[in-house]
Amino acid sequence: MADAMHDGKRQQDVRTAANRRLALKLAAVTLAMFGFGYALSPMYDAMCKALGINGKTGRTDAQTVAAQPVDVTRTVTVEFTGLAISGLPWEFKPLVKKLELHPGETREVKYLVRNLAKEEITGQAIPSVTPGETAPHFKKIECFCFTRQTLKPGETREMPVRFVVDAGLDKGVQTITLSYSFFNIDKLSAQKYGGTSLAQAGEHADHDHVHPAPGG
């Protein structure tokens, strides 16, 4: 009887140790999966870049483009559109709504932007292309979206986009649309101009910002 109990006790200790080891291993798996959750973000970006999943466009330089052949047998229509997101009091539109080009050919268009506010404001344009599959083939050599744009009160600016649609574009594609969403990069400023969401993180009742209204 005593032996049996002793055995039982020893067996229990062995078990406890085994349980601890297993629990630690499982905790490690948990941590790894937490890391994996985070890793999904760069993985997704990499996949999007490769496959154009979310219409994020590529970037290239003039030399690479110059080395590419122009496919004169095909014509593709490229449309341009833009939206100044609420919170950025700017007028924003393409000066050319659409053009036709041959794949491989470098073209330039201009967007017009005007600051309607009475103070300096900085914005960031985010490009997106549809159909999404064309995004890897839509390459920008120069773009106002590469950097932030700061406009003085009332300033008007014509901003260029120089781009190429490479010849690897799927044969079925006839129309590509390039769209820009222009965001106010400063959250408080965006709030002041009625931006309701994207630039709104620190929104709390405590910081009182009854800013003078624009022009006030």
Partner 1 sequence: MSADHHAEHPTGISRWLFTTNHKDIGTLYLVFSFIMAIVGGVMSLVIRSELWQPGLQLVEPNFFNQMTTVHALVMIFGFAMPAFVGLANWMIPMMIGAPDMALPRMNNWSFWILPFAATLLILSLFMPGGGPAGGWTIYPPLSVQGGIGVDFTLLAIHMLGISSILGSINIIATVLNMRAPGMTLMKMPMFAWTWLITAFLLIAAMPVLAGAVTMLITDRHFGTHFFDAAGGGDPVLFQHVFWFFGHPEVYILVLPAFGVFSQIIPTFSRKPLFGYASMVYATASIAFLSFIVWAHHMYTVGMPMAGELFFMYSTMLIAVPTGVKIFNWVSTMWRGSMTFETPMLWALGGVFTFAVGGFSGLMLAITPADFQYQDTYFVVAHFHYVIFGATIYGLFAAIYYWLPKWTGHLYNETLGKWHFWLTTIGFNLTFFPQHFLGLAGMPRRIPDYALQFTEFNRWSTIGAFFTIISQLIFFYIAIRAMKGGAKATDQVWEGADGLEWTLSSPPPYHSFAVAPKVK
Partner 2 sequence: MFIKLIRRFPGIVSRLILGLGLWLSAPAVFADYALNFQKPVTPVAHRILELHNMILLICVIIFVLVFGVMFYSIFAHRKSRGYKPAKFHDNATLEVVWTVIPFLILVSMAIPSTATLLEMDDTSKSDLTIKITGYQWKWKYDYPDQDVSFFSTLATPRDQIENKAAKEQHYLLEVDNPIVIPVGKKVRFLVTANDVIHSWWVPQLGVKKDAIPGFINEFWTRADEAGTFRGQCAELCGKDHGFMPIVVNAVNPEDFTKWVAMQKDKAAAESASGAKTWSKDELLEKGKKAYAGTCAACHGVEGKGIPGVFPALDGSQIATGPVDEHIKTVLHGRATGKFGAQMPAFAAQLSDADAAAIITFERNALGNKTGDVVQPSQVKSLRK
The site for partner 1 (CB under 8 A) is made up of 8, 15, 18-20, 22-23, 26-27, 29-38, 40-41, 44-45, 48, 51-56, 85, 124, 126, 130, 132-133, 181, 183-185, 196-205
> Please, which residue, 42 or 202, has the CB nearer to partner 2?
202
C-alpha to C-alpha distances, 41 to 37, 46, 196, nearest whole angstrom: 8, 9, 25
Least gap, CB of 22 to partner 1 (angstroms): 5
Kindly state whether residue 196 participates in binding partner 2, applying the rule CB under 8 A.
yes
> Please, which residue, 34 or 154, has the CB nearer to partner 1?
34
Kindly state whether residue 154 participates in binding partner 2, applying the rule CB under 8 A.
yes
Which of partner 2, partner 1, none interacts with 18 (beta carbon under 5 to 8 A by kind)? partner 1
Backbone angles phi, psi at 75, to 5 degrees: -125, 135
Q: How far apart, in whole angstroms, are the C-alpha atoms of residue 159 and residue 113?
A: 8
User: Which candidate, 135, 133, 180, 140, places its Cα nearest to that of 161?
Assistant: 140
Kindly state whether residue 79 participates in binding partner 2, applying the rule CB under 8 A.
yes
Q: Which of residues 83-142 bind partner 2 (CB under 8 A)?
A: 83-87, 89, 97-98, 116-118, 126, 128-131
Tokens matching residue 4: 């049996």
Kindly state whether residue 213 participates in binding partner 2, applying the rule CB under 8 A.
yes
Kindly state whether residue 185 participates in binding partner 2, applying the rule CB under 8 A.
no
DSSP code for 134:
G
Q: Are 139 and 52 in contact (CB under 8 A)?
A: no
Q: Are 130 and 149 in contact (CB under 8 A)?
A: no
